[in-house]
Amino acid sequence: MDGPADPRPRLEQTFFADPVLDRVLGMVMALSAEVWVLRERQRRMAIALERAGLASDATPSAEEEAALARERDAFTAALLENLLGRQVSKGAP
């Protein structure tokens, strides 16, 4: 605790051999979150438009909500399964 204090804000914890990876993965996740926000917004608008042109009742039905939740989880899985690093079709190691 003693000694000259580091004037920088505390540096973020690191988990990878190269700390740059820690930071870049953060950026990838931030972008992914933004993509999902846009996609969900767009789906909800489409639902509203499809229902009655410019009808103000944009609340999706329970089934539409459930479909959106499934879509969200599929989006997340497609994004994050890359991080599992498992072969999807068996090949050379």
**Contact residue for other proteins among 3, 4, 9, 85 (CB under 8 A):** 85
Alpha-carbon span 68 to 60, nearest angstrom: 9
The Cα–Cα gap between 46 and 48 comes to 5
Say whether residue 52 binds other proteins (CB under 8 A): no
Residues 3-32 that bind other proteins (CB under 8 A): 13, 15-17, 22, 25-26, 29-30, 32
Distance CA 7, CA 10 (A): 9
Among all chains, which residue has been given the structure tokens 């068996």? 90
Question: Contact residues for other proteins (CB under 8 A)?
Answer: 13, 15-17, 22, 25-26, 29-30, 32-34, 36-37, 40-41, 44, 69, 72-73, 75-77, 79-81, 83-86
